[in-house]
Chain A
Amino acid sequence: DAGITQSPRHKVTETGTPVTLRCHQTENHRYMYWYRQDPGHGLRLIHYSYGVKDTDKGEVSDGYSVSRSKTEDFLLTLESATSSQTSVYFCAISRQGQETQYFGPGTRLLVL
């Protein structure tokens, strides 16, 4: 258990509304990641962070922004949610000097 929590765990929202998902870790790991999981695609990297205020884009970053103002929190924001962003969102961490990734429990988002 890498001490990762995600909130909310489930959310239903309407097209055009802003949504923020939170990933919180308790062990001060440097690296954090946001993935989305969709049928037929496995998991795809959205954004990642390599330290406070240090973030970069992943494979499917369009329509998403992130922020990391504290080591323990990595926020994913959908500025104006669309139905194509209906998905399960996973946060992950990796430890300094290690490549192994550990995942949070996921957030199921439905955009109507």
Chain B
Amino acid sequence: GIQVEQSPPDLILQEGANSTLRCNFSDSVNNLQWFHQNPWGQLINLFYIPSGTKQNGRLSATTVATERYSLLYISSSQTTDSGVYFCAVGGTGTASKLTFGTGTRLQVTL
């Protein structure tokens, strides 16, 4: 099956810093999503981005499908950004079955 690798595995930032998280995948996909899992365990969908660039406030994401990677940018980080960020990929069709990476754990300190 498809392999999903995320880097870095861990990241510590001071509040206000910027960061880039990367997701590489081993095969063509037409479904890519980014999620944030907060310290209480809740999973929040950040982006559905099979290709191109999207922005939502301080977060933006870019997927280059032809080169099989996606980037998540976090600008002016805040302590509430702490948690684990997951990339998930899959196909489309009767159900959007996703394969998840193992995540990037982000800690934002004061």
Contact = CB atoms under 8 A, between A and B. Distances in A.
A78 interface: no
Contacts of B45: 100-103
A88 B37 CA distance: 13
B15 to A, nearest CB: 27
B42 A105 contact: yes
B102 A42 contact: yes
A33 B86 CA distance: 17
Contacts, number: 60
Contacts of A94: 95-96
Contacts of A88: 41
A106 B41 contact: yes
Interface stretch (A11-19, A43-51, A69-77, A79-87): A43-51
B52 interface: no
Given A99-B48, A100-B48, A40 B102 contact: yes
Q: Which of A40, A42, A48, A90 has most B Cβ within 10 Å?
A: A42
Contact of A42 (B33, B48, B96, B101): B101
Interface of A: 31, 33, 35, 40-45, 48-50, 56, 58-59, 88, 90, 94, 98-103, 105-106
Given A58-B97, A59-B99, A106-B41, 17 more contacts: A31-B95, A33-B95, A41-B102, A42-B100, A42-B101, A43-B88, A59-B1, A99-B48, A99-B92, A99-B96, A100-B33, A101-B45, A101-B96, A103-B35, A103-B42, A105-B41, A106-B42
